[in-house]
Amino acid sequence: MDIALLIRRTLAVFALAFIANAHASFPATTEYLYNARSGWHPTPAAACQAELAIAGPLYAFDRIELLACYYRYNGGASSFFGNANTRTVCPSNSTLAGGQCTCAAPTYVQDGNACISVQDSQNKNCKALADGLNILGAPMVHHGSPGVTACFGGYVIKGSGGAGGSIGGVASQSELYGPFACSGENASACSVIPKPTAITATCAPGSFPGDVNGVQVCIPPSSTVQAPKTTTSQPPAAGGTAPPLPGAPPGTVESSEQTTCAKGTCTTTTTNKDGTGASTGTTVKTESQGEFCARSPESAGCDKKSDSTFSGSCSGGFVGTGDALQKAVAEAVNKTKCLLDPGTALDGTVSALAAGTFGPELTNASRAIGQFDQSNPLGATCPADMTISVMSASVTIPFSQVCWALQALGYIAVTFTLLYSTIFVVKGF
């Protein structure tokens, strides 16, 4: 099955488990009461226990039979207390009809056995989708414009950055990188624009998925959008005036910058505001993507490069930094080398592997077929029949009657082993 399709279906099931039906009804709740002073309760036992607690410490709850409550006074015999009164109720913001509760539409929608506001329902559903994307741990891919938000499942999802690109000059899919959260925008924002067919993909940040001759590939983006970075000046004391930000136009106490990279060029737009929120000026800086990535290597569209190191010894163990896969391979190779030749582990391991000369113990060797043990693994001779005495009776196990079959199975096992070994060696060429 296509991985992207599987993930889409997983998210769909995950989302549907949380999305409420605004017009559905649900069973009303039955409550129980033995005395008005102890109030209504969700079960007969809870109602009876509440009333007995008021009656005094000598009254101990015994049991419930249908609606009848029984108690014991001062450890004595079981006594009948009374039958519970019942009523059927619905939660707030709903109406009762025929034993069913219906939420007051269009203001409220069902959430389990409760009615919550439409906005609370949207926030809950949006969070469920964002949490599902975070669990998958892959970028969200959509057919909208690259940005730091995207519509998914009818909700506005916010990420940490976006990327978009083209194949053969034709605009293709865009990416939104995690971690994901709800943007806070109303879900109706996704109903006034064409809803993109959102999918998830396993392309690493810095590349986006596309189709080449029907095959999904991961290619570098042609444009990326970074999440806005905002710097705000704080007043030295409560009620004081915030000092202006250094390097910004006079009176600036808040500065926000957003960077968009396309075709190897990055443009950073800085918006400045004063304490009232009025603009104090906007600046635009253009630089190459290489220069931008040198300053911000963690940004979307930048390939983070780091030097990997590896060192250690057979006696003290091995440590490494950088790529986790390279570290694991180097550690496994050197631990094996330690088992074979502790004195030369790590020295020349990489070069020896590249040259195909990783120690004499790994060199090719020739063995004639006659040098392999071809004896019957189940024995060449039959064991004698065995007699066992059990409770004054003797039982004989007749090995002589099955020995021929066991010997035949042994030779068959040897034959199949030799055939498999031959196929294994031949396939290596």
Domain end: 194, 224, 254, which one?
224
Domain range enclosing 417: 377-427
Instruction: Give the residue, 101 or 190, on which the prediction is more confident.
Output: 101
Can you give the pLDDT at residue 407?
A: 74
Residue 16 banded pLDDT, cuts 50, 70, 90: very low
Mean pLDDT score of the chain, rounded to an integer?
75
Q: What share of the chain is helix, strand, coil (3-state, %, to 5)?
A: 30, 35, 40
**Digit-coded pLDDT (tens) for 162-189:** 887 666 556 667 888 888 998 888 777 7
Residue 3 banded pLDDT, cuts 50, 70, 90: very low
Do 150 and 205 lie in a common domain? yes
Q: What is the DSSP string of 227-284?
A: PPEEEE---SSTT-PPPPPTTS-TT--EEEEEEEEETTEEEEEEEEE-TTS-EEEEEE
**Digit-coded pLDDT (tens) for 244-295:** 888 888 888 888 888 888 777 888 888 888 888 888 888 888 988 888 888 8
Cα separation, 374 vs 183, in Å, equals: 71
Do 164 and 202 lie in a common domain? yes
Angle at 292 between CA 288 and CA 298, to 5 degrees: 140
Do 316 and 412 lie in a common domain? no
Do 358 and 381 lie in a common domain? no
The closest of 114, 88, 86 to 28, measured between CA atoms, is 88
Do 77 and 150 lie in a common domain? no
The closest of 11, 249, 1 to 131, measured between CA atoms, is 11
Cα separation, 72 vs 81, in Å, equals: 9
Residue 400 burial (10 A CB sphere; 0-12, 13-18, 19+): exposed
Q: Is the pLDDT of residue 153 over 70?
A: yes
Considering its fold, how many domains does the chain have in total? 4
Do 398 and 352 lie in a common domain? no
